[in-house]
């Protein structure tokens, strides 16, 4: 799967700076999923509000609910490391890890969609060396991650690596 994105324009850079503030992050944590769903529906599943407003690379991660067993799809910013995708469970700097993280722990096989592509991946926690390598990647993608880490300093934010599943897995 090829994930690419253009450098953000001036408006998108301003949106990213605003989004990293505590009040904006709180508001976005409550509203962004609804905005993303609307834009996804209007764009035929190819764009999210997040990607349009910020220029960030956004995938659609479909997990299996840890408790419900039902499919759950979440738009997420991701990093790319060769064939691997990297997710940061910041939850906007919130007190708890996001629900999708617990779904991955219970059911590591996921589907990732990006624009008109989709593939099956297996998730795993990043190793200590990978975590050290991936946080600078996260900061390069979105400077707000540093603010999120500070607000969530009471917990270790999980870093998750997605690797393509072999055929028949």
Residue-wise pLDDT tens digits, 43-101: 888 888 888 888 887 899 999 999 999 999 999 999 999 999 999 999 989 999 999 99
Rg value, the chain, Cα? 15
- pTM comes to 0.86
Q: pLDDT tens-digit profile of 102-137?
A: 999 999 999 999 888 899 999 999 999 999 999 999
Contact (CB, 8 A) for 50 and 77: yes
Contacts of 80 (CB under 8 A, 6+ apart): 3, 57, 86
- Report which of 29, 27, 26, 20 is spatially closest to residue 139, judged by C-alpha positions: 20
Contact (CB, 8 A) for 48 and 75: yes
Quick one: tokens of 156? 């270790």
């Amino acid at each position: 799967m090829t994930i690419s994105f253009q450098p953000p324009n001036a408006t998108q850079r301003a949106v990213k700076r605003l989004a990293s503030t505590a009040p904006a992050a709180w508001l976005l944590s409550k509203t962004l999923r609804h905005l993303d769903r609307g834009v996804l529906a209007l764009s035929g599943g190819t764009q999210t509000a997040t990607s349009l407003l910020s220029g960030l690379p956004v995938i659609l991660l479909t997990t299996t609910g840890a408790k419900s067993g039902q499919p759950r799809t979440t738009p997420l910013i991701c990093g790319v490391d060769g064939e691997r995708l990297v997710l940061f469970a910041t939850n906007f700097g919130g007190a708890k890890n996001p629900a999708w993280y617990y779904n991955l722990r219970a059911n590591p096989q996921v589907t990732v969609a990006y624009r008109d592509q989709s593939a099956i991946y297996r998730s795993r926690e990043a190793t200590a060396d990978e975590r050290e390598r991936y946080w600078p990647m996260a900061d390069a993608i979105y400077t707000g991650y540093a603010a999120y880490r500070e607000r969530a300093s009471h917990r270790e934010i999980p870093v998750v690596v997605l690797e393509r599943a072999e055929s028949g897995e």
